[in-house]
Structure 1
Amino acid sequence: MACTQVYATDRKARFRKLRKKTDKVRRRDVVLNFGAAGGASGISGASVRVMQMDSSFPFGACINPSVIQNQAFVDFFTKHFDWAVFENELKWYHTEAQQGQLNYNDSDALLDFCDRYGKQVRGHCIFWAVENTVQQWVKGLDNNGLKSAVQSRLQSLLTRYAGRFPHYDVNNEMLHGSFYKDRLGDDINAFMFRETARLDPGATLFVNDYNVECGNDPNATPEKYVEQIAALQQKGAPVGGIGLQGHVTNPVGEVLCDALDKLATTDLPVWLTELDVSESDVDLRADDLEVVLREAYAHPAVEGVVFWGFVDLRREWTSHARGHIDSNGHFKFRGYHGTYVVQLSTGTGKVHKTFSVEKGDTPLVLDMNL
């Protein structure tokens, strides 16, 4: 039974603090040097416009065969999101509901959809540790048969889709379930990671679990998650990322931040992999989701967010700038990490050039050489 904890919150004050933290973590001073293009005197005072085209921080969303038939959904998804995750279509119980009868039709169709629109996809999931998610035919196997079935699942899935999924959730929710470990011993989870890496060495392999960020589940504390990761690594599991599902109720920013701080001690990237909130009131739900998003975006360990639904703070986290070149041939602005296009307007016309702003603590000086 989960314990109940009470926290005092002042979201306005917390958001002010997070905006400062976000500015430090996600933005950088940029100096566009136009002086190299033939002397500052010739272009001093010329009009400059900088527009951010893409963010280096990825947002994704859950998809299934039904929603990709809805044009309104497709339009919104393709405009606002960089990544996708399949709702159920890659899970073992979907691709092999009956032993030996493999069905990848749905996952193939969803992957083709994502390829068509240039979206990357998280592989969710290869196995699921919670017993009530395991097919009955798998449960009915003896231990030798189960080990063989596990190997067959890895071989089938990973050879079919080698190089197609940049991320894999290898064995979902190991803090809450232990079906394979109970049947096949302590090494099986690490074996799944090692074998996945052997069959698809380009993929980043994640642990993935829920309630870790909530502070109310004794089975899923950040400390236990860190211990689990360390134990896997000691057995040779190449754990490359930490998934926080983010199915959140009544989020408290300080609690989320504390959990992220503890997970950051692993030096692994953290993704919110299935973010949604359960508040029934739509306005309060938006408020709760904003808490989680702001905490995640402000934390340096977090490298991506995938929604189990939609929301958009991206306009606030996008940089545009207008102004004029100074007497030194410079145009300065502070921008979020990502790709940009700069437009220089002079008496002879307009010139465009693209550039990127990457992480860094010092000002980024870029020679435009237009």
Structure 2
Amino acid sequence: MMILGNLIALAALSALTAGELLQNADFESLDHWDCWNSHCTLSSDRHSGQHSLKITGRSKGSDGPSQYIQVTGGQVYNAGVWVKLLNDHAGQNIELMNNYEFTDGSGKYEIVARHANAKTSDGWIHLQGTFTAPTNKPIKRLRPYIQSGPEGSVGFLADSATITPASGSGGHVTFTDLNHVIDQQRKSNIVLHVTTAAGINKNDVKIHVLQKKKSFPFGTAVNSWKYNSKVAGGKYGDFVHNHFNWMVPESALKWMIIEPQRGHKDYDLALKMIHSVKSHGLKVRGHNLVWSVDALVQNWVKALSGNTLRTEVKNHIEETMSKTRGLLEHWDVNNENLHGTWYQDRLHDPDYDLELFRIAHHADSSVKLFLNEYDVVAAGSETNDYLAQAQRFKKANVGLYGMGVQCHFGSEQEPDPTVIKGRLDILAQAGIPIWVTELDVMAQDENKRADFYEKALRALYGHPAVEGIMFWGFWDQAHWRGEKAALVKGNDLQMTAAGRRVFDLLENQWMTDETHTLSGSQMTVRGFHGDYEVHVIYQGRELSNLKQTFTLGKGSHTVNINVHK
């Protein structure tokens, strides 16, 4: 026993010296863990080591083991724990929580990691996430704890917990790191072979490589009512046409808007706008066919059940996809299914979420179908659950194309590229494209807002799994979060500091416009993917007959030019 005790002590010391903040993180004893309002014992049923912690006798969902640790404001931490339920309760969630205590006596709770609708049949569940300690006020201490709710009647085992500084496992992601990925993923070589006729001095020849359009999708949600009514003298619509290449109707394609009362349908609101933006060259996402969150299901739908409900949903999906056939590139099929399972619960069919995709895929196989979730990148409580969901859908072969990640950063929350990359890395394990479907940040100060948007955009654009980025609005008068999130404001749609920063990235830094004086017979320009023009200037005058156009994709492109007078 003395030898075993020494080994446990050495293991604990080794973990602490490696950056582990939790004491007795492997639960090889009861030491250092508080079990408020519950009963804790050791169990030989473990995930690793010799023991796990068995938690029973809980009176409410928030009762669970905890301990106090010290954290530093602004530091990013990796956190995790393995949990196994001992009995079932419908709708049971398991969560790794943080309870901050500040020196002024106030507190804050946050979810670090969450597994929804957990069951005993899931076995050992890995709760894993990242968090950034707050900087708005001094932290006295942090109490991480494990909870399972909403009922306290469910017991569980806990094992192999960890909280470590993120810098202990690879360091912080810098703009230099992201620029390297952007160069590798978003650009290709343009190889220019240039010959000159007799009498042409190469020093008098300049080659101008000009990108006219970008291939990478940068889009926005658009308010259909404001767009169709040409508010601000049509400047709202003009801004959409001039600054984005994709859009998504913010609400007009949602079932609750199309058919708020049974049989009273309005597709014209969305279709009028979609036809207009497409005439200006934009591509369109569809959002959304079904929304599983209870509060967002129409009352008349909630009155249905059984085959009547199944038929109504199927008819809605088929009709909506028929009316939008050929107009949309994507559909978000079942919005926020990790946060709401109303249809599955109502039909007593946990696999009905898969059936929704089958219906949509059969209705129009040319449209790319997406899951769409929040708390997976801007926050990370659902990141691992989302990966598991995507893997389940992919395995079921129901037509899933990609994962939509909503990125609604909290008020005054500074996006952290290290955290964003870590969460995207997890999601990328599904092996399918990721689209940022709903991006916004919030900051009262315009310059701080500009910093926030830039950090988020660089981290998202600088991840190889991300295939497109959609802002969830841009104008203060048509943004669900108002001026604190806006890129432009006022009736004249004037750029804010955030707007100037964002569109400098999108339209200047991430576009190619280079002019080179001819020195040899070949030159290489590394350009962003998109549509190009090549202009030849001789002695200050363009030779318009030598202009060429092409589209640069993921492979290199060769341009042959013969310069003659």
TM-score scaled by length of structure 1: 0.91
Tell me, in whole angstroms, the C-alpha distance in 2 between the residues paired with 1:327 and 1:244. Answer: 47
Structure 1 vs Structure 2 CA RMSD? 2.4
Relative distance call for 1:9 and 1:96 in structure 2 (3 A) is same
Equivalent of 2:219, from 57, 60, 66?
A: 60
Match of 2:438?
274
- Does 1:356 pair with 2:551? yes
Q: Unmatched 5+ residue regions in structure 1?
A: none
Is 1:122 matched up with 2:285?
yes
Match of 1:306 in 2: 470
| 2:374 matched residue in structure 1 | 210
| 1:243-289 per-position Cα deviation (integer Å, ceiling 9, x unaligned) | 01111122211111011112222221111111111333332222111
Q: CA deviation at 1:39?
A: 6.6
Asked if the contact 2:224/2:250 (under 8 Å) is kept, the reply is: no
CA distance in 2, matches of 1:325, 1:66: 52
Q: Which amino acid aligns with 1:55?
A: K
Which protein has greater RCO, CA pairs closer than 8 Å, 6+ apart?
Answer: 1
- Give yes or no for the alignment of 1:234 onto 2:398: no
Does residue 146 (structure 1) correspond to residue 309 (structure 2)? The answer is: yes
Picking from 269, 284, 291, the partner of 1:106 is 269
Query: Residue 343 of structure 1: which of 518, 530, 535 is its match?
Result: 535
Change (3 A) 1:258 1:144: same
Partner of 1:165: helix, strand, or coil?
coil
Letter of the 1:337 partner, please give it: H
Q: What displacement does 1:29 show?
A: 2.9
SS in 2 for 1:305: strand
> Does residue 47 in structure 1 map to residue 206 in structure 2?
yes
CA offset digits 1:184-218 (Å, max 9, x no partner): 2122111111111111111000000111003442x
The one of 270, 290, 303 equivalent to 2:454 is 290
- Name the SS for the 1:151 alignment partner: helix
**1:319 paired to 2:512:** yes
| Residue 154 to residue 369, structure 1, CA distance change in 2 (3 Å) | farther
Query: Structure 1's 139 and 41: CA in aligned 2 closer, same or farther, altered over 3 A?
Result: farther
AA partner of residue 112 (structure 1): H
Task: Describe the SS at the equivalent of 1:323.
Answer: strand
- Which amino acid letter does the alignment assign opposite residue 169 of structure 1? D
Matched residue SS, 2:509: coil
Structure 2 contact 286–332 (Cα < 8 Å) conserved: yes
Separation in 2, partners of 1:32, 1:40: 19
SS in 2 for 1:106: helix
Distance 1:323 1:125, change over 3 A: same
Moved more, 300-309 or 60-69: 60-69
| Pairing 1:16–2:211 present | no
Q: Is the 8 A contact 1:61 1:308 kept in 2?
A: yes
CA distance in 2, matches of 1:123, 1:93: 14
- Label 1:73 to 1:6 Cα distance change in 2 as closer, same or farther (>3 A): same
* Aligned counterparts of 2:190 and 2:214: Cα–Cα separation in 1: 15
Q: Which amino acid aligns with 2:528?
A: Y
SS in 2 for 1:47: strand
Is the 1:122–1:165 Cα contact (8 Å) retained in structure 2?
yes
Give the stretch that moved more between structures: 157-166 or 343-352. Answer: 343-352
Deviation sequence 1:68-108 (CA, Å, 0-9, x none): 21322222211110111111110000111111222112112
Contact 1:52-1:320 within 8 A present in 2 as well: yes
Select between 348-357 and 188-197 the one with higher mean Cα deviation: 348-357
| Letter aligned with residue 260 of structure 1 | L
1:262 to 2:426 alignment? yes
Please state if 1:186 is matched with 2:350. Answer: yes
For residue 369 of structure 1, report the CA deviation from its aligned partner. 6.5
8 Å CA contact 2:369, 2:402 repeated in 1: yes
- 2:558 is the alignment partner of 1:365: yes
Tell me the distance in 2 between the aligned counterparts of 1:85 and 1:335: 28
Return the alpha-carbon distance in structure 2 between the equivalents of residues 166 and 297 of structure 1: 20
Distance 1:94 1:192 in 2: 19
What is the aligned counterpart of 1:6 among 103, 108, 132?
Answer: 132
Deviation sequence 1:131-189 (CA, Å, 0-9, x none):
11000000011222111111111121011111211100000001111011112212211
More helix by percentage: 1
Report if aligned partners of 2:332, 2:371 keep a CA contact under 8 Å in 1.
Answer: yes
Superposition deviation, residue 20 in structure 1: 2.5
3-state SS of paired residue (2:300): helix
Q: Distance in 2 between matches of 1:157 and 1:40?
A: 64
Retained in 2: the 8 A contact 1:215–1:255? no
Shift of 1:115: 2.3
The one-letter code matched in structure 2 to 1:242 is M
Distance in 2 between the 1:158 and 1:178 partners? 22
Instruction: Give the paired residue count.
Output: 362
Letter in 2 for 1:191: E
Structure 2 CA distance for partners of 1:345 and 1:200, relative to 1, 3 Å: same
1:155-166 to 2 correspondences below 5 Å:
155-166=318-329
Q: Where does residue 191 of structure 2 map in the other structure?
A: 31
What is the rounded CA distance, in whole Å, between the counterparts of 2:330 and 2:358 in structure 1? 14
Kindly state the Cα deviation for residue 56 of structure 1 after the two structures are TM-superposed.
1.2
**Matches of residues 73-84 of structure 1 in structure 2 within 5 Å?**
73-84=236-247
Name the stretch that deviates more: 318-327 or 80-89. 318-327
SS at match of 2:376: coil
Once the two structures are overlaid, the 10-residue window that deviates more, 127-136 or 342-351, is 342-351
Whole-Å Cα distance in 2 between the matches of residues 345 and 40 of structure 1?
17
Partner amino acid, structure 1, of 2:176: R
1:125-136 matched pairs, under 5 angstroms: 125-136=288-299
- Give yes or no for contact 2:439–2:472 (8 Å, CA) kept in 1: yes
Q: Which of 254-263 and 18-27 deviates more?
A: 18-27
Q: Could you say which structure has the higher strand fraction?
A: 2
Aligned ranges 1:79-94 → 2 under 5 Å: 79-94=242-257
State whether residues 404 and 435 of structure 2, in contact with CA within 8 Å, keep that contact through their aligned partners in structure 1: yes
Gaps spanning 5+ residues in structure 2: where?
1-96, 98-109, 113-130, 134-164, 475-501
SS in structure 2 at match of 1:34: strand
The equivalent residue for 2:408 is 247
Output the CA distance in 2 between the equivalents of 1:195 and 1:65. 27
